[in-house]
Chain A
């Protein structure tokens, strides 16, 4: 944007200079003048159909729609003149002609743009004496409740669906008085981002179905936190009341999730109050019985003292915060145990260098990138927000995208499908494939490696060749690093950061040990998605839900879910973010690091921190985790492997976007969503 000239414009007597290409509305915003609007949204295209943003422009005969009018040199804008006031009152009166006066029973009440703006800019009365029109409600699936009579046809939802989400099912049918917003043939909206339609709707036409008639906004306690449903680390706001999480909304963060969050992040919260572990259990005669914390610790103590270190393994789950992983590691260290598995699935990458396992281009880099190669990645399922970001570049800058994956996935943008054989990478490297030219032309080429590769034996080979390709075509320099690993789980990067120096235990080693009957004692830290058989072992499960791990457990230690504890998470870029506690864990459940701390004391190996601050101080000793700067691109990753491509075909794994963790599996909303998909 540097090369663009600035233009000078005068708003309400304030001289201001704005970049060329700004609209009058943006200039007003820059001058600190608030312009009421309904249809304008800075992340969507300009529609200009609500007319609420009318302002007076000198030498113009009538008010202009500031959202659609480009600012030009020397313009003089008035936003509080009589003309503007009259225009706003008039528009408001028109908008309210067909809008029902049902605010008392409307879920949007209290946070409704129309309500607020009617109060500040409206007339306060109407001259319209005829009947209001009524519009039948539409079915938009299990997440969105519609009351279409309230719709003011701003078309924000239509534009969001078409531009951001990439589902072209939403539209405005009919004309004039008969316009209705509807999905095509009233099918449910099949997008992972559909919940954002609710946020976008400036009135109560689209409201959240799971949240209907639950609470008023002024009753809620708002906690800003971080989402753990994927590795993106979307910023969220948790709204709670009386110790219960009632809803989750996105929090704006341009570097990560912009203004959106996925439906899973938003709606899986009803799982937080189902199947919870609220008291310690021990298994007696194959039956789980409630016990006190002391009794549970006693059982562990008696068991662990008899076990030798090679028979014991710890498994870190997918949504564990860094603090608990660190405490877990410290406990194992004290007990002289060194088998800790940082993640449950088989994921092969080298952890020597931090840039080997991070999303080095950063999420923001997706806006800059000019050629993208996906290898074994299905970002739509793995991280819907990231997919929307790729689509944004695809829509606005015609980003060229190619993909090597097991299947030709529907990613909501067009791409060049290169088949499922990763050996093609060698051809690209040698310049024998047409893709090589795309790489050559690109200034900011990007490769994203997804878990179809990471789970495959060829993982390191693919990574090595990818690095060579990027190196050859200028993918690494001071201003760019095009090598990206797409992680799926919130705790993966944190776990590697913390555990890589301590233990290099991995999935295949564990499988080997299990086959050799070496494993007798398993400590699952919130781990429910493992694919190995530990039914014959003594299992401790520490976590918050009665899911797969708890079923196998001999001792259950009830922990806290992500909304119930302070903790930090490292997202796939390596960015450390702090989540805040919104509610308290149920019953006797405790925050995870405190459980580990208490257990250590019981085992006679007291961990040397007494509060979260001390723990964090110790954890950040290595400094590695704090090292993150959005504008600094790390040096190129280095991978040592023979690269003989023993296997080269990527395999498809059927994933259900809506059910990937204990919380979302317990959520009935998510269950409904996955049924709609089918």
Chain B
């Protein structure tokens, strides 16, 4: 059988095309053949110039105007067929040699070679050797000598083609003339024509006569064949008709069929242009006859040796090819099916091969792809039965052709054929939900069994054919699509065949078909808060507002209205800044998968992806981070990943896996590779639109001194230095710092000016900004127990993660982008936001346990000097001075004679593991400066207390005297605003309960409380302040009045000089001197203690009463003296003290803010300790005084009592 037969085959002149001489480069040879191949049809009209009629042409009806000669080029020649006589078209009638002159310098050798090659073709009537690109010397010598070698002078393509045309026309003309000669000779002489069908061995006499009879018919048929070859169908038809008649008469069935076939061919060639149904019917009718005749010529006895089945099948195929149209499909199918049935009776395997090939081709032409694929697979199986590489290669190629019909095609071939998956994928992404039926259609033709068989056969054949890439691709498809149906052993086998194929491939080979792993897009991580991008609002000065969601909430109701189409995520990447994408890989197979490298595949060319390598254990999935850097402005789309696995580079598209997963969710695909690896259900991930924008500035922050958290104790104040560096390539021109997060009020100050003064911050520039933080108090909600610290017994509390405040820095580059590429729009390059968490870890520090107000009594001693008790305008000053000189713990003047001395006791405990030192200070904002009095500024006054050291796990108490806070009577600065109180003594205005005054009081209380500061130090550089305001206030609440307000009258005692009262108030200087016994001038007995009194001696004394109010006070004064037992020792039966002067009901009148003195003398009979007490009843007390005394009724006497004074009496009893 012959391939590619059609009814017209009978009119084609076969020409063997042979390469001659030195080996021709492959592309060169191909181009020569291509040039030759254009001339399969030479019009008779064009060859008339080469044609010369030597004798009368036998082709009387030659259509010189319309006819043509047809060539069929047999590349590489063909072996002579046994059936040449039967069908002349099977003869090789001409030989063309192709010679590439640069490869074969010696033309003589070429000529010899060509001549030798031609010897094999005895039937050849014309021989030509075309030599291309001859050298000059070759041109010279070859021009005249050899006729057979035709030199094509080197010239351009067009000229050469023209040359070729001429040569072919010449060849056609000479062939035509040879045909004429042959026909004339055949008509006259007559040749014996035989076929293998005729018995050759013994030509018996009977058979000889029979053959003689048949000879004429056969000769007529052959002449008809030559007429057909010569392009004269009418002549041919005439001869065929004769032959048919004669053959029928002689019963030569086989030749009868042959002649009839020839007549159909003549009919068709004659009526080439118009195909009408009538002609078709005629052809069909005749050909069915032909088929019948061939079938009848099948001789059982000959069947072993030679069979006519192939002619029958060829005739069937010829008819099928002629009819091969969609409308006649049924008829063609019947023909082809009967042809396929005939395959069984074909002896030669290669005949069967050709038959199946032809059947497959015809089914393919008919549009029956699956049928064609089926027969192609039969062809491939026949090829595979032959055990050589060429056959395997053919098998592989044939199978590859079938892969489309079985839907296992390599992606390389299907890319242009099926753009639909792309559309489907897109529509899926947009619509989200598809109609179930259209989903089903995505997975069309899931014939997994046969798909696997086909792929396995492709794999096998390509391994045998030595095509590693095809083998790799087939194995990859098999593994990827059908892993659930393959046993673990089979999977490993496929993996090793992948590896084996890869070994034979050059490194870096790409394959269109992805193998493993399965890759799907997991997510696009949003910008980390350090590189957040914010739209700039050019209208606003605060350009960052309203553009990005601020605050901790993902959803803000305000942004909702603005962004309506938020279902399509927008992502902005910046040139030169690395970005990251999360993808999920799955290895559902039972072997370890080593992905040598994987990186994002971006076709837009503006993205540099960084490869990573991953190892996936069996049946696992992994989410990995792929990163890259955008390099150019524009849009970026990421369709998939490039994977280097099993030695080959492949592109894995996310879309494919999405479709697969979609099918899996509908139960249409075998298995979901991710789910079987234990991965969770995918998020509904939509691919965002990614755009790349020009470079932006990039601030990078680090905390000076390490990025760890700063550990602070509660209340500790510390500067945190944050260094900001512009790591981008664009200067920062605008910047703003804001606060966000929890505990914002713990940030005391931010050096805005430092940042602003450093602008514009050039690329690489750095600025360091101090932020002062005062560690906040830990509350139960935002703290947690430090489990690691169990050594100290009880777990201590530390602040929770994330409770630190955040610095939010908005910054932006210049308003116009540096490269003016965006001249088109008014788009402003966006700004950015940097969130710097102030990493503060607050530890529980010194604990404040409680505050108490304590009262104490320190009786004063009577001496010559009056105890300093005056709250004069310079009183405080003086007192402070004296206090400064002292270094006692409790800062009181011991001679003050304090009755009801008040101390604030603070109890502090230290649960930490460090030592704290506590220092109490008063901040005195001396308002006196307004009066030009004291010059104390706001600085803290250290009272010189010793620092209280509190060891770990201990508690300590700190006492704070409250006496310093008593208000002077004339606190004009304090009360001057209140007109009403101007003429009222002291602060009695409070009792009037006027709101105004109340506020003032509260202010003064707050003032008082805020003046008390407890500062602590720990270690070398930890210091802070204890927040005790609330506690102090609570402790002082009850007695705040008593602390703040002075008594209306104060009393003091002193020893009188010679019984005469001193007129003057003791000056402070004296008072201070009196503290120092050595500096005392004196008639006094030096031996005596200061303030001691001798017994049995008249002692002069004075009581001094000071009026602290602004009004004159009338009073009646009583002085009493008590002994140690508390008995009144002046009156009564057992009085031990005698006195002179008045001691009771002394009427005195004290002018406002003045002292009055009353003198008396005492005579102590018994040495010992005595106590002097002064008390007065105020007459006609004012409202203010009453209020101060907290008396309810107006007629109640107002009683005023002074502090007790001690008198130490020495001497003998």
Decide if A and B are genuine partners. no
**B interface residues with partner A (beta carbon < 8 Å):** none
**A interface residues with partner B (beta carbon < 8 Å):** none
